[in-house]
Amino acid sequence: MSLELTAPTPEAPDVAEDGVWLADIETGETYAPFDEIRYTGADGNLLEVRYADPPTFEDFRGQGRGVWRYHAALPFDEGVSLPEGATPLHRAPRLRETVGVRSLRIKHEGMNPTGSFKDRGMTVGVRVAQKLGVGRLACASTGNTSAALAAYGARGGMQTLVLLPAGKVAAGKVAQAALHDARILEVDGNFDNCLDIVQDLAQRGEVYLLNSLNPFRLEGQKTIGLEILEEFREDNGRFPDRIVLPVGNAGNTSALYKAFRELVQSGALDPAEVPKLTGVQAAGSAPMVEAIEHGWPDTERWNEVETIATAIRIGNPVNAPKALPGIRGTGGTAVAVEDDAITEAQRDLAKEGIGVEPASAASVAGLKKLREKGVVGSEEDVVCLTTGHLLKDPDAAYEAGNKPEPVPNDPGAVLEHIGAQ
């Protein structure tokens, strides 16, 4: 099944339900969307949700705010909602001047209900679980997925099981999952080991998998791209040239590309107007960058990964077969950045009043590196996606920020200490 940007709208097969079906991205084989639980095609290939009637911008007018404003681009009219979406598209004037681009906006997904973009996927994914009649939800997680799944599972009245790599998840994220009543299992291994286990449990029919391997989860994440296009055009009269985003499992890269392809199919977006999707990974966990640099159709698994950016500490991005065509098809690229550059970018954002966890700051670090190399031009309009809130990883925020300074219990001494007298 073609993932080209200009691929035509597919005809609805007999298995479609209300114009919605699942399709194998490699073979084109189609499946009914809700007759049975299905995560991959018959050969283990990734699936996509397909629509007989792709949306236009007109379909979104007068539909409120948030993820479900875009129900015309989703499998349902409403989902299990907290609500989510409608996150800010911040201006960052000092950072824009430092980087040296025509305009720079920061899409802050940390302002979702549980503090990350994962809420967008869960509002759709948990609704699908209800449609399928499953009782136990599960995910492997570096933290944000577990927090979102636990909250939306609780909202939907469903059991939730999360598998985390022992000692590798920020405390703020574990606390969220725990408080939302999830059962938390710490695995002696990394994220990819956790995902292997959850996939096995899902194949046995014991749990409903809501990692981004699940094609319905990515449908909610598409709305990030739709919000960016709508708001940027409203403010500037044009679409951004480039969207820079952190890459872990590559779900957002895949989801945004799918949103843009569907708008091209409906005629709402010209292919020349599609922003260049630009992925950023930490240098210690960069299989996507490796694949882009070598021209590979898929990634090779990194068994050893390490970075302070825990949310993207992933060595086997399951959505790479969808994301790599997205980067290449939009004329984008991918770049790896060191941890110290991520921390510097986290500070830069904080000085603009935008508080993010380390993985989020990778997008800004990557933009700075690409601008220095001349890959990003000075006349470009750029949006950087930040995926999680500062308080997701308070320990990292403390290490990156200013440290408390002890002073005597005396106003004069305080003034003297800060140099005011």
- Mark the binding-site residues, compressed into ranges: 144, 248-252, 387
CB neighbours of 276 closer than 8 A, spacing ≥ 6? 241, 242, 243, 330, 331, 332, 333
Strand-pairing partners, residue 277, are 243
Tokens of 288: 């996507």
The β-bridge relationship of strands 242-246 and 381-386 is: parallel
Residues 224 and 117: beta-carbon distance below 8 Å: yes
Helix (H, G, I), strand (E, B) or coil at 137: strand
Listed residue (289, 296, 217) closest to 246, CA to CA: 289
C-beta neighbour count of 351 within 10 angstroms: 11
Helix/strand/coil (H/E/C) assignment for every residue in 31-68: ECCCCCCCCECCCCCEEEEEECCCCCHHHHCCCCCCHH
Binding residues for pyridoxal 5'-phosphate: 144, 248-252, 387
145 phi and psi angles, rounded to 5 deg: -60, -40
C-beta neighbour count of 402 within 10 angstroms: 7
How many contiguous H segments (helices) and E segments (strands) does the chain have?
Answer: 13, 13
Helix (H, G, I), strand (E, B) or coil at 222: helix
Residues 50 and 22: beta-carbon distance below 8 Å: yes
Helix (H, G, I), strand (E, B) or coil at 335: strand
Q: Write the DSSP symbol of residue 272.
A: G
Residues 368 and 95: beta-carbon distance below 8 Å: no
